[in-house]
Chains A and B, each alone.
Chain A
Amino acid sequence: MAIILRLDRMMADRKISLNELANKVGITISNLSILKTGKAKAIRFSTLEAICRELKCQPGDILEYEE
């Protein structure tokens, strides 16, 4: 897919684990793992909002477009 989620980079910057972020965002670890590994086909705005709130970043910080 052309849209890539740079979640692992942001999680390393903020020094937050997968487990902790999943609990704070309110999704399961398996779903967060699907996002992290790039297997997700779509993300809800509510989930993106929750991730940006917890990681204190902009959507553009974690979403990238590659041709």
Chain B
Amino acid sequence: MIKKINLVGEKSVSSFIHNLLMIILIATVFTYSVMLIMTICGYTSVTSNKYTFISCPAGANLALLELSDINKNILTKYVFRLTMYYVPSAIIDSILIYNVSMLFENFSLNKIFIMENFRKIRLISILFIVSTILENIAVYFAAKELINLKITGMQFIPKFNLMDSNYIYGLIIIVVSEIFRRAMELKEDQELTI
């Protein structure tokens, strides 16, 4: 016997997603704040060893051990710039996750075709596109540090990424918001048909 899964309403997949997104939001904000503080502390540290290791993500530390000092400094500057330039994008992403979470909360309360949801979906699509632009700007300007990286046989040429698929996803979400608005109008017509 196949158990029917509730996608909307009380104790449904929507309420699970809402709760999950709230946890992800808190974890994201906390993690990024800690990373930011550690990066700033590492960059302003007096000791060059601390500067190298604290300002990099954990996995990158192992790779840094193998590089010459010139490359270590360049890579550390790159990571520092990336972390700092990512701040606007991280703020936008947090607002985006919050809005998606609230959207699923409305779904879990059986409030589906309402004006608030249409506005949230439209905002989500705009935030998605803006976040992608900011991320690409951050990566481009941080990557400019890598031009000075000296690895035999390799040359780094930073380019601004225009072919990001996230732009298409943002447009798709805008269309979905318009479909929501039409559905809202149909619902209103149906409710006011006696």
Residues 22-39 of A contacting B (Cβ, < 8 Å):
27, 31-32, 34-35, 39
* B-side contacts of A15, CB under 8 Å: none
Interface string of B180-194 (1 = CB under 8 A from A): 000000001100111
Interface string of A30-59 (1 = CB under 8 A from B): 011011000111111001000000000000
* A-side contacts of B194, CB under 8 Å: 27, 31-32, 34-35, 40, 42-44, 47
Q: How far is the CA of A31 from the CA of B191 in the complex (A)?
A: 9
Expressed in whole angstroms, the minimum distance between the Cβ of B137 and any Cβ of chain A is: 48
- Choose among A32, A41, A47 the residue with the greatest number of B CB atoms under 10 Å from its CB: A41
- Among A27, A32, A40, the residue within 8 A (CB) of B192 is A40
* A-side contacts of B188, CB under 8 Å: 41
Which residue numbers of B lie inside 8 Å of A, CB to CB? Answer: 188-189, 192-194
Interface pairs A-B: 4 shortest CB-CB? A41-B192, A42-B193, A31-B194, A40-B194
List 6 other contacts, CB 8 Å, given A27-B194, A31-B194, A43-B194.
A39-B192, A40-B193, A40-B194, A41-B188, A43-B193, A44-B194
